[in-house]
Structures are given as structure tokens and as C-alpha cells.
Structure 1
Amino acid sequence: MQLYNKLSAKERATLIEEAGEDRLTLSFYAYAKIGNPKLFRNYLFIAWDAMEVLGRIYIAHEGINAQLSVPAKKFDEFKNFLDSIYFLENIRLNIAIEHDLKSFLKLKVKVRDKIVADGLEDESFDVTNKGVHVDADKFNELLNDPNTILVDMRNHYESEIGHFKGAITPDVDTFRDSLSIIEEDLKEHKEDKNLVMYCTGGIRCEKASAYYKHKGFKKVFQLEGGIIEYARQVENLSLENKFVGKNFVFDHRRGERITDEVISNCHQCGKACDTHVNCANEACHLLFIQCEECSKTMDTCCSNTCKEINALPFEEQKALRKGIPNSNKIFKKGRSEVLKYKH
């Protein structure tokens, strides 16, 4: 019984190119009580591997969080499989606006303590006691209400390239950081204001809405389906688009363009740019914004030091990385003193 990937990402990319078949990038989540996450993980891996599904999926006692790439011709089979699971029947699927055959190159189904890390140890906190879900039309209506406070539940590197007009965008690295900050900043408005939240696909907002209800906020709303579904509804229903810029996504694309506005800058030269890259030096791998010109000049590296290391033979790079604790900066997400134009 195969419960692991037999192909490397490079081998999988080659097969996808040779097949030349359409794939759909999508995501979904569900908060539910899963008694045996490991058993459920194995069940999903076996079924989805047979369907050639690729992606990153987290399973926990509190539910499932999935970001996937599915062969278009097998979408109906995939959907029927989801419908056969009681808490996933008719689940809303956030289908990407822009599709990329290589958005994911491996199938990773992992068991985690939580599907969204929140740092909370409060046993009385019920994640299923969520706020009111609103569609794009109602969301726009709420934003026109002067009694509304709009909060972006994403991290600084996400909101930097795109956000809703007038939103509070906390300068945080993780979701867990934002919960207490927002609660403290808005504690005077638990009774009188509409607390409206949004995120990429809805999963963080759903947990946040339940958390703020638990903390005494009376009027809690979340954008159903997040930015992904909002953009779809705005286009299909010809609604006013209150989002500006790009929507950060957690796959190889790193972003979906929602509007033509570029609201961020290259972190190295300051030129208008909203393209995220990872530093080519594998010992760094820092996520940052880099324009095409700087990418060519710096060989897709964040600093001259990384550029020099990246130019070394592979074995020398590997030797330099050996035994260095916490050498990978992937979780710093744009926080580096070498990035002069990071705001």
C-alpha cells in the first residue's frame, strides 16, 4: 500500500508537461470532529493518489485544510468522492481564478495538531460557534456602513501586495500573532461595531470569528470563501470590486491578480512590483518581493552574500549548510535588514 510520493517534484513536472492536460487548482476547508486523523489521512492519500491529485493537505482532530491541483477530466470523480464523506458533502470549493499546471507537484497529506495554528490553549473555545458568513454583495454593503470595522486576518507579506480598501492590515508574521493584537485594539467596540473579517479562502476568518465571539464581540461577520470567492462573485455578478492588487496564494504561483493596481514595491530597488520570489540560496530561501531587473542582477537572491553562495558548486553549498541551526529563513517572510525597501 503506497502512502508516499514515488516521484520527485522535477519528475512530476516533466510528466505534467508531457501529458499536456488541463488541471484545476482549488482549495477547501472544513471544521469537523475527526476521531482518528491518521486513519483519515491514509484514506485520503490512497484515494487521491489514484486520481493524480497533487497538493498540500492538513488533517487534525478539528478538521481538514486542503489546497489541491486536480486533473480537469477527473474533477467529477474527485467531487463525488468528497460528497461521499458526510462532513464534506457539498463543501464549497474555492477554484482558482488563474490555473497553473504546476501549482503543486507532490501530494502531501499531513496530520497536524490543528489545521490552523492559533496558539490557543482555551478548552472552552468552540471553533464551530462561528460568525455570520456573508457573500460579496452583503460584504460590500457592510463596508459601506460607517459602523463597520474591516480586518485583514492574513499576514504582512500577504496584505502588502493586495487588500480591501480601508482594511486594518496587522503587521504580523502569523495568524496566532494577530488574534490578541486585534482583540486588544478593538476591545472598546465589542458591542457597537460590526467586526468584519476576511482572508484568502475563509479558513482563518472562520476560526477568528468563533474566537472573537468567545471573547464577547456581538456583531461578527466573515467573507465567505475569502478573497478567492469574492473575486469570482464580483466578476459574475458585476459588483463593485473593493479589493486592490494581488491575492497571495500558497502554491508555486504565489499570487493571483485581482486588479491591475500594483500597491507594493521591489524590496531591493523600490520599483513598483508585487512579484514574490524565494531567495535562490537554499540556505536562505527568504520570501521577498523582487522585480525582473533585480532578479537578473541578483540571480534571484536577496543579498550579495546569498548571490555569492548560490554561485558555488552544489556540493560546496551543501557543505556550508551542514550543521548550521535555523539556517533556512523561509518563515521570516520578507523580514530582513538586507531588504532596503521593505515597508
Structure 2
Amino acid sequence: MSILHNIVSKKELKRRMFFETEPRLTLSFYKYFFIKNTQEYRDRLYKNFYKYNVLGRIYVASEGINAQISVPKKYYSILKKFLYNFDIELNNLRINKSLDNEKSFWVLCVKIKKKIVQDGIKEHFFNPNNVGIYIQSEQVNSMLHDKKTIFIDMRNSYEYAIGHFENAIEIKSITFREQLKKVIQLMAYAKNKKIVMYCTGGIRCEKATSWMLFNGFKHVYHLEGGIIGYVHDARKNGLPVLFKGKSFVFDNRMSEKISDEVISYCKQCGKSSDVYINCKYSSCHLLFIQCENCSVKFHSCCSLECMKKYNFYMLNNDLKKISY
């Protein structure tokens, strides 16, 4: 019987990833559709992804599939063909390529979830397939210049901080579930206005448009392929990219650069910076923005307190090694 889960330590897999020289592509895709047997679906995916040396995070639920993966460049066409033929629902699936080729994932993780994106929606009559109108870069740019159109960012606050469309409304939150509760209340005045929603790859803003329509909003749009799809389409058609800053990503890269503008600030000194790190003191592990100078000054920690604890921990480890 095949082993359908990872059996190598994540530390070792991460080491292998950094030493790997084979060129890879980072891809993302999702699709809302009904999956009857999620366990069987998950296992079939795992077997084939493992065969093609795919790394990354894939969620399977009765409502569909959501994936962010890294694949060897030589297998991209084969993997694409496999997905198109794997399930009729995935035929001509939209696959987003990342905006850079930096290393992203080091483990293959295929999980069964209750939902592919945690939304907190419990209404029985809600139909996630009744979505807003897709728009691409030309129309996006046109609507950005229309003062009567409202742009809403459906990403978390820490994602918004390092990059967003100018004048886009931030729905302050740390979870998508929280955002969906807030956006209906905050935008109640705009039920008859044009609303454009966006997120990184499309999965959150697609469901958000369904939720807005369900709650009586009339004119709702969303970026096809999210920010990633927008940037690719604009560059392909020689159009200006109007997104400012970086796009946050949930993998080893932390972000993808889209424009040269730095619109965020170091948590500690307030200088311009758009580099996210996790506090080096593992018991804290806070995600925060830190400039190069403060990284040196605080030893990549979020505060003097965490730096002292981290240094004390490292000193004790060194002493233990010497004693042995």
C-alpha cells in the first residue's frame, strides 16, 4: 500500500529545498464545485502530485479545491494536462503562475477541510456559485479611474499593509471570516453602487462577491485571477500596473514585488520598509515588518524583550553543547 503522507522531517525537507538546483514554478489554482468523496479525491491527488515531485499546500473539501504548489518546470505541462483530465470540473482550470521564481514550498501537504476557505457562512440558501462579474486588467484600470466605483480589498490587514490599489477600502481584520461579517455592515450605504472586490489569487474575492449578492448588493465585480491574474494580464497587454507595493504570499517568499513603491513602515523605527519576518524568538514568532537596520539592532526580534530571551536561549544551547 502506498504511503499517502509525508514521512520525512520538515527540517530536512526545507534543507533539501534550499539545496535544490532544479528550476521550479510556483502555481496557484482553485475551483468551487461539489466533491462527493473527499478522501478518495485527496488520495488520488496526493499520489499524482507525489509522482511529479510537487510541493505545496492543497485543500480539498466538499465545496471544491484550493492549491498553492511548487512544481519542477519540466513537469509543468504534464501536471497541467493531468489536472485538466483528472476531473471534468477541472478542465481548462485557471492556473496562476507566480510573479517570481524564488523557492516557495518544501513539503507536500494535501488536507481534507470542511471548506477550502474559512468563511463562517452558515446560511443554508447561500449559493457560492452565484458570483460577481469577472474583470481583467483593462477594465480594472478603467474602473480605478472612475470615482463612482468602490474597490474593496478582501485580504487581511497585514497583506493590505505592504501593497494595495490606491484608495481601495481596507476591511480591517486578521481573518476572512471576520471580514465577511464586517463588509456587509460597512458597505450598507453602497448597495446600488459599482463594487470591485479583489484578493491575491481570486478565491476569497470570488466568495465575497457571492456573499455581497446574497446580501442584496446589485453591481459586484472581481478581478479574474486576483492580483496575480491582473498583473500578468496587464503586462501581457502592455498596460500600466496600478497596484502599488508588494503582494503578500503564504509561503517561504512572504511577498512578491509588483511595483517599486514602498508603502509600509518598520514596526520599530517607523522608516519605510516592506519586509515581513517572524520574530526569531520562537515562543513569540510574531509576523511584523522590520527594516534592515532594526533587523541587525534587534537580532531579527520584534522587541528588546524578545531579543533578550532569544539571546539567553541561544547562550544556554551553546553552553550545553560545550558541556557535552
**TM-score normalised to structure 2 length:** 0.93
What's the offset of the Cα at 1:15? 3.2
Q: Which residue of 2 aligns with 1:140?
A: 141
Q: Cα–Cα, structure 1 residues 17 and 278, in superposed 2: closer, same or farther, change >3 Å? A: closer
Matches within 5 A, 1:1-343: 1-84=2-85, 85-101=87-103, 103-191=104-192, 193-313=193-313
In the TM superposition, residue 18 of structure 1 has moved relative to its aligned partner by: 4.5
Q: Which secondary structure does the structure 1 equivalent of 2:170 belong to?
A: coil
Deviation at 1:281, TM superposition (A): 1.5
**What's the CA shift string for 1:250-295, capped at 9, x where partnerless?**
1111101100000000101111000000111221111100111111
Structure 2 CA distance for partners of 1:315 and 1:299, relative to 1, 3 Å? closer
One-letter amino acid matched to 2:198: Y
Deviations along 1:217-252, whole A, 9 cap, x unmatched?
A: 111100111111111122221212221101111111
Q: Is the alpha carbon distance of 1:17 and 1:190 closer, same or farther for their aligned partners in structure 2, counting shifts above 3 Å?
A: closer
**Partner amino acid, structure 1, of 2:91:** E
Q: Deviations over 1:159-199 (max 9, x none)?
A: 100000111012211111112222112212212x1111010
The equivalent of 2:321 in structure 1 is none
Shift of 1:303: 1.7
- Distance of 2:29 and 2:11 partners within structure 1: 26
Counterpart AA for 2:164: H
Question: How far is the alpha carbon of 1:115 from its aligned partner?
Answer: 0.8
How much has 1:313 moved relative to structure 2? 4.2
CA distance in 2, matches of 1:2, 1:57: 17
AA aligned to 1:88 is: L
Deviation string, structure 1 residues 112-162 (Cα, Å, up to 9, x no partner): 111111111101100011111111111112222232111000111001000
SS in 1 for 2:274: coil
1:311 partner SS: helix
Q: 1:256 is paired with a residue of what secondary structure?
A: strand
CA change 1:304–1:209 in 2 (3 A) is same
Cα–Cα, structure 1 residues 167 and 107, in superposed 2: closer, same or farther, change >3 Å?
Answer: same
1:15 counterpart SS class: helix
Q: Provide the rounded CA distance (Å) in 1 between the counterparts of 2:133 and 2:110.
A: 30
Letter in 2 for 1:52: N
Structure 2 SS opposite 1:196: strand
Counterpart-to-counterpart distance in 1, 2:245 and 2:311 = 34
Instruction: Give the superposed CA RMSD.
Output: 1.6
- How far apart are residue 17 of structure 1 and its match? 4.6
Give the AA of the match of 2:95. L
**Cα offset for 1:314?**
6.9
Partner-residue secondary structure (3-state), 1:274: coil
**3-state DSSP of counterpart to 1:260:** coil
Q: 1:123 to 1:271 in 2, by over 3 A?
A: same
Task: Report the Cα distance in structure 2 between the residues aligned to 1:222 and 1:76, rounded to whole angstroms.
Answer: 28
Q: d(CA) in 1 for partners of 2:244 and 2:313? A: 42
Q: Secondary structure at the match of 1:273?
A: coil
Letter in 2 for 1:86: I
Aligned counterparts of 2:49 and 2:202: Cα–Cα separation in 1: 23
What is the one-letter code of the residue matched to 1:15?
Answer: R
Partner-residue secondary structure (3-state), 1:49? helix
Q: Aligned equivalents of 2:147 and 2:120: distance in 1?
A: 32
Q: Alignment length, in residue pairs?
A: 315
CA distance in 2, matches of 1:314, 1:40: 45
